[in-house]
Amino acid sequence: MTTAMIDCEGLVKIYKTDDLEVVALQGLNLKVHEGELMAIIGNSGSGKSTLLNTLGGLDRPSAGQVHVGPWDLLKITEEDLVKYKRETVGFIWQNNARNLLPYLSALENVEMPMMLSGKVDRPYAKQLLEWVGLKERMHNKLHQLSGGEQQRVAIAISLSNRPKLLLADEPTGSVDTATSDLIMGIFRRLNREIGITIVIVTHDLTLAGKVDRVVAIRDGLTSTEFIKRNPNINPDGGEAELPAAASGLQSVHEAYVVVDRVGRLQVPKEYLTALNIKDKATMEFDGERIIITPPKSLEVKSDE
């Protein structure tokens, strides 16, 4: 059995201002194994970016447990947090400006994090740019590169210090479909060849459908997991395209409602709406199944 790279249990993140508290994560549970390539999906405000920022060491968790490899991110010191961000985790943002320095060449951008840690390795920097298909463009300045090429430079930068975990926040959000497919191919190759664990946050369900496991987050909690029924579903090396709708994931993936350690689960909102269930429900066990129905007083009357 593989070791957990990420292990979150009851993870809480609260943002506070003088007169306001926002609970972004409400006791989230998540486990990601070493070498996994997986995606996290969710609507705006669901907590997925907060989770990514917490795993990346950009936000401190408020309560619960969150471990990445040997690191306890709830108790980590400021000194060790710097070491964690330099050595364990790589981050790719949707906005290239957060990854790139415009006055440097692609190669110099990749070498910059190495300089900050005092370990410049030019052959490895060149190898990274070859891996992302920019062998002939590594000496170009950023204004000479397309948006898709700049995003590939950002991927190379995120790997410059040989992290064990790569976090990607909407990595294809600002590129066209062909470039999105190219970037996803790079992620798959890196995952397969160097064994790096990759977690992608995305709104793009077509992109999410190209990984083996997808975790949906709703209201700061994990709600549903989609696990690919057959990882080798398209043996010729291609990937099945999925329609841009949540139900589309289920054409290739099996859907599971996540049950936490104390028995709580999140029933999909569309199911509750269809049954007119709002704040209460009746639950019965018939010996084989758990049956959830609206309370008698709320049942929709038949026309017959």
Tens digits of residue pLDDT in 236-270: 344 433 333 444 555 566 777 777 666 777 777 77
Domain spans, the chain: 267-304
Bigger pLDDT: 285 or 31?
31
pLDDT > 90: percent of the chain: 44
In Å, what is the CA distance from 50 to each residue of 11, 67, 158, 195, 219?
11, 16, 19, 25, 12
**Whole-prediction pTM:** 0.81
Find where tokens 């909690």 sit. 221
Q: 165-174, 191-200, 258-267: which range is least confident on average?
A: 258-267
Beta bridge pairs of residue 28: 11
Query: For residue 56, what are the contacts with CB-CB under 8 A and spacing of at least 6?
Result: 85, 89, 91, 167
CA-CA distance, 241 to 251, in Å (whole number)? 10
Q: 23-32, 186-195, 204-213: which range is least confident on average?
A: 204-213
Quick one: pLDDT at residue 249?
Answer: 58
Beta bridge pairs of residue 9: 65
Q: How confident is the model at residue 156 (pLDDT cuts 50, 70, 90)?
A: very high
Quick one: pLDDT at residue 144?
Answer: 92
Quick one: pLDDT at residue 268?
Answer: 73
Instruction: Determine the 3-state secondary structure of 236 from DSSP.
Output: coil
Q: What is the mean pLDDT of residues 158-165?
A: 93
Most confidently modeled range among 115-119, 122-126, 190-194, 230-234 = 122-126
Token reading at 288: 């084989």
Q: What is the mean pLDDT of residues 95-122?
A: 86
Bigger pLDDT: 302 or 138?
138
Q: How confident is the model at residue 297 (pLDDT cuts 50, 70, 90)?
A: low
CA-CA distance, 217 to 41, in Å (whole number)? 6
Quick one: pLDDT at residue 252?
Answer: 60
Mean pLDDT score of the chain, rounded to an integer?
A: 83
Could you tell me where the DSSP H helices lie in 29-105? 48-55, 78-87
Beta bridge pairs of residue 165: 89, 197
CB 256 within 8 A of CB 224: yes
For residue range 42-54, list pLDDT tens digits in order.
888 888 989 999 9
- Measured between its terminal Cα atoms, the distance across the chain in Å is 55
CA-CA distance, 13 to 50, in Å (whole number)? 8
Query: How many C-beta neighbours within 10 Å does residue 83 have?
Result: 14
